[in-house]
Amino acid sequence: MTTLSRRRLILGASTLGAGALAGACDLIPGGVPGGPGRGGLYGLSDALTLATQRVLLRDQPLVREFPIEMVSAHFPTINTTDPDDPVYRSSRAQGFSDWRLPVTGLVERPGSFSLADLRGMPARTQVTLHSCEQGWSAIGAWTGVPLSHVLASAGLKPAARFVVIRTVDGWWDSYDLFDALHPQTILAYGMNGRDLPVAHGAPVRLRVERQLGYKSLKYLASIEAVERVDGIGQGRGSMVGELGFSWYAGI
């Protein structure tokens, strides 16, 4: 490659990056967390990745879905597989009949949903690839209600820009509305045609199909709509962000 060609390549890449950032401005809300060690090249890299994704996927295309025959015979489980929480264990013993999912924050109708409530809402089943940050992947069939439907039932206020989700085992994460309202972002209560197993997050887990597996939280405990997330915790938008992972984990 000649020096001139390299210069053109670098110039083209920088122009694309600037264009992506500019074109995504209306798709990225204020208060997006930078994540650990942000600033310098790491911060620029994260910003370009998020901006480019927002531009390329601005029409909200679906991720690839697979035939049911391709469901993995073995789907690994990591981190918590049975929460050591007395309230959770009591609810599990009752078949989660008393389980409730509070939806609060910037909503017109704060309240809570039972497992039966969620099952009574319009559902979708999606057979998708789960990509783990640890290097493995597996295909599962997930059944649940789109998060967008639950948020619509609660009535998002105009100021809402993010959804913060917390779990029984102490994890938390946040998602901007671009991802939270995607049709394949669901509150899953079923896996491979059966009730969601405890090891996979029963009674309800989140599925965020356009990001790495650590964004699909298990054992959901609450949902809160907020305007900003850079003031929560260490300002990195998630518990994993405070542990060194990127807030945005798009694939």
Q: What is the mean pLDDT of the chain?
A: 88
Q: What is the pLDDT of residue 43?
A: 64
Q: Which residue has the higher pLDDT, 27 or 6?
A: 27
Listed range (48-57, 150-159, 208-217) with the worst mean pLDDT: 48-57
Q: What is the mean pLDDT of residues 3-8?
A: 43
- Res 14 pLDDT > 50: no
The torsion defined by the Cα of 108, 112, 114 and 120, in degrees rounded to 10, comes to 0
Count the helix, strand and coil residues of the chain and give each as a percent rounded to the nearest 5. 30, 25, 45
Q: Confidence band (pLDDT; 50, 70, 90) for 46?
A: confident
Return d(Cα 179, Cα 157) in angstroms, integer: 17
Is there a contact between 154 and 107 (Cβ–Cβ < 8 Å)? yes
Q: What is the pTM of this model?
A: 0.86
Q: Enter the CATH code of domain 63-242.
A: 3.90.420.10
Q: What is the pLDDT of residues 140-156, one digit of tens each?
A: 999 999 999 999 999 99
Q: Is 22 helix (H, G, I), strand (E, B) or coil?
A: helix
Return d(Cα 229, Cα 111) in angstroms, integer: 21
Bridge partners (DSSP) listed for residue 144: 124, 188
Q: Confidence band (pLDDT; 50, 70, 90) for 22?
A: low
Listed range (18-22, 62-66, 189-193) with the worst mean pLDDT: 18-22
Peptide bond into 203 cis (omega under 30): yes
Listed range (10-24, 63-77, 113-127) with the worst mean pLDDT: 10-24
Question: What percent of the chain is predicted at pLDDT more than 70?
Answer: 83
- Best mean pLDDT range from 52-61, 103-112, 242-251: 103-112
Q: What is the mean pLDDT of residues 183-208?
A: 99
- Res 32 pLDDT > 80: no
Q: Which residue has the higher pLDDT, 34 or 4?
A: 34
- Res 21 pLDDT > 80: no
Q: What is the pLDDT of residue 7?
A: 45
- Res 37 pLDDT > 60: no
- Res 20 pLDDT > 50: no
Q: What is the mean pLDDT of residues 69-84?
A: 97
